[in-house]
Structure 1
């Protein structure tokens, strides 16, 4: 059984969930928030998803983290062959400007939280926050084994490490903002189009 705590009393289905059920629960929660979630069997399928999405949104520029898992994804050359520019965070002096111009931001995540449909994103060297915040479309490619039941699991995992990364954010679906009249706007303070590809 997946690890549980008193924190799941309001979500008993999470307490009972088998680890194999968590990715689907994450996808359902993310989609309830207006995001897009999919589980694929391999990095090759994940790469095809990214390429298809780039075509769908008419992307001219993709910016991604400088991260080994995204190197394994191998999307750079196929994107370039399709006429889409690829910028890797940290390789140029104008990384933030590139992120602001990019149509798609591509990263991975430390964890995905089934309880809330959230991603746990750690920024640092080669992994700028701007990649996950500035482009209108954001894609995270995440191993399915990183899906945990709830926020308590994330806290427990970091407590076990004995230290926290310098920049840790919980990203939960597309950006939502409301004015004083409670008129909801999507994508004002972050990506309005969020995709999570779980691999494995």
Structure 2
């Protein structure tokens, strides 16, 4: 028997003859204080995100590619990384072609080992989707997939994120229940409230230390 098996066996024997403590979890404790009228969810999320240096824009499903193109052009970004295997990635490609947008698009369509240096050293911005948002904390939910890996939202200095207004929930508990997180999660689910920042060095706040220095959220209203 291995050391690991010995430890587990001891733990199991230590529970013999004991009675489990009754589950007295009160759902109201983690929902009621953090619930909001529907019309207040987006304003609260924007207020909290903008307070920590995040840029937010309200748009709609037909107009966000034009807004993205304008923001990319105004910032003078030399390129934009997209995931061509996603619906929003394909929409960007179509809009760029139809309107002759000059900023080059990069596709995350190969193993990272084949272009790691280019991603880390020569990729200015990226666009990703999100699973949703949380009004109580002003957070985005990033849910990496094979088409849209974690590196897309982690490495480029500027991160554009698409957020559906209908997917903004009141609190974290509601998100877990709605998406059944207990039944299965990716290896890396993330809650992001703003650009990367740190004050570890001489207590001076610096952005972009461990990820993007700019986070721009495009909130897609249903109307």
- Give the TM interval when normalised to the shorter protein: 0.7 to 0.9
Q: TM-score, normalised by structure 1?
A: 0.84
Structure 1 residues not aligned, in runs of 5+: none
158 and 44 in structure 1: CA distance in 2 versus 1, 3 angstrom threshold: closer
Cα distance in structure 2, aligned partners of 1:167 and 1:160: 12
What is the aligned partner in structure 1 of residue 164 from structure 2?
A: 143
What is the aligned partner in structure 2 of residue 34 from structure 1?
A: 53
For these two proteins, the number of residue pairs brought into alignment is 191
185 and 149 in structure 1: CA distance in 2 versus 1, 3 angstrom threshold: same
Q: Does 1:52 align with 2:54?
A: no
What is the aligned partner in structure 2 of residue 127 from structure 1?
A: 148
RMSD (Å) for aligned C-alpha atoms: 2.3
Cα distance in structure 2, aligned partners of 1:71 and 1:64: 6
67 and 27 in structure 1: CA distance in 2 versus 1, 3 angstrom threshold: farther
- Larger gyration radius, structure 1 or structure 2: 2
Shift of 1:113: 1.2
Cα distance in structure 2, aligned partners of 1:95 and 1:169: 24
What is the aligned partner in structure 1 of residue 119 from structure 2?
A: 99
CA contact (8 A) 1:174 1:191 kept: yes
Cα distance in structure 2, aligned partners of 1:143 and 1:178: 32
95 and 110 in structure 1: CA distance in 2 versus 1, 3 angstrom threshold: farther
Shift of 1:91: 4.4
Q: Does 1:89 align with 2:108?
A: yes
CA contact (8 A) 1:63 1:98 kept: no
Cα distance in structure 2, aligned partners of 1:27 and 1:173: 11
What is the aligned partner in structure 2 of residue 117 from structure 1?
A: 138
Structure 2 residues not aligned, in runs of 5+: 1-26
What is the aligned partner in structure 1 of residue 216 from structure 2?
A: 195
Q: TM-score, normalised by structure 2?
A: 0.76
Moved over 6 A (4+): none
Shift of 1:45: 2.0
Cα distance in structure 1, aligned partners of 2:216 and 2:149: 18
